[in-house]
């Protein structure tokens, strides 16, 4: 699906199409509508770059106990713990 943003909207925001798309990705991530991976793909940046962008705006990464336990399980399976 494609979304068309009228030129006058871009002009009113003083942003490029990529900047506006990045803002939408940040908003959707912040509202927990997109995962980190989904939001970084929408923003057209790597996950690490997206994390840096979030950090620059003091937006925390969504990481809960279930994520931590999953990461521990993965690390144990890899023999790193």
Residue 63: the pLDDT is 85
Complete DSSP assignment for 10-73: HHHHT--HHHHHHHHHHHHHHTTSS-HHHHHHHHTS-HHHHHHHHHHTTPPP---HHHHHHHHH
Q: What is the pLDDT of residue 80?
A: 80
Residues 41, 61, 63: CA angle, nearest 5 degrees: 110
Q: Which residue has the tokens 């003091």?
A: 58
What averages of pLDDT result for each successive group of 10 residues across the chain (81 residues)? 89 94 96 93 95 96 86 89 76
What pLDDT, on a 0 to 100 scale, did the predictor assign at position 64? 83
pLDDT at res. 81: 76
């Amino acid at each position: 699906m494609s979304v068309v943003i009228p030129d006058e909207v871009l002009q009113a925001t003083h942003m490029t199409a990529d900047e506006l798309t990045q803002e939408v990705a940040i908003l959707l991530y912040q509202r927990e509508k997109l995962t980190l991976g989904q939001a970084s793909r929408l923003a057209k940046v790597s996950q690490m770059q997206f994390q840096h962008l979030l950090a620059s705006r003091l937006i925390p990464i969504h990481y809960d106990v279930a994520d931590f336990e999953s990461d521990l399980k993965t690390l144990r399976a890899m023999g790193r713990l």
